[in-house]
Amino acid sequence: MVQIRPAAAQELKRLLHRHTTQGSRPSPQIYLTLEPGGCADWTYRLTADIAPQRSLTTLPCGDISLAVPSDQVDLVQDLTIDYAEDLMGGGFRFINPLAQRTCGCGNAFALSADTPVTQDCTAAHLPTP
Ligand code: FES
């Protein structure tokens, strides 16, 4: 079961409210997707505006529902989502017991302890000599 901590729920509701007031969608939804690659095997993506073009499963998390691609539900089944502010600004934090390794910022994870992960997005995108 995905758990959303109070700070994350507050931020997600703020995002939903912003989309509702902008009138961009009649019934806003939070989408949680995993994109392959990036700084590890998978990178989390939370959005309220771009629906993935795939079959979705809705996961109730308290008074918020997350729409997750059906083929990724197993990868987030015990995920905890938090939100925190630090010197670099605010951001969602993901705690996934399936993650064997996590990148430097915590937005990407690997399912195997042998998979290389990056500790710095900047380094991940430097051209190789
Ligand atoms: S996604 Fe690049 S360091 Fe976390």
Per-residue pLDDT tens over the stretch 97-111:
999 999 988 899 999
Under 8 Å between Cβ of 12 and 64: yes
100: which DSSP letter? S
Query: Residues with Cβ within 6 A of ligand 1?
Result: 38-39, 43, 103-105, 107-108, 118, 120-121, 124
- With left for phi above 0 and alpha for psi between -120 and 50, is residue 62 left, alpha or beta? left
Our mutation pick for probing the ligand 1 site, out of 46, 101, 102, 118, counting the most ligand atoms within 8 A of Cβ, is 118
Instruction: Kindly give the number of the ligand 1 atom that is closest to the alpha carbon of 106.
Output: 4
Q: How far is the CA of 22 from the centre of ligand 1 (A)?
A: 30
Instruction: Round the average pLDDT of the chain to a whole number and report it.
Output: 87
pLDDT over 50 at 40, yes or no = yes
pLDDT over 50 at 129, yes or no = no
Q: What is the mean pLDDT of residues 76-97?
A: 92
Q: Can you list the domains of the chain with their CATH numbers? A: 3-113 (2.60.300.12)
Task: Please choose, from the candidates 116, 87, 123, 92, the residue with its C-alpha nearest in 3D space to the C-alpha of residue 102.
Answer: 116
| Closest protein CA for atom 2 of ligand 1 | 121
Q: Is 91 helix (H, G, I), strand (E, B) or coil?
A: strand
pTM for the model stands at 0.86
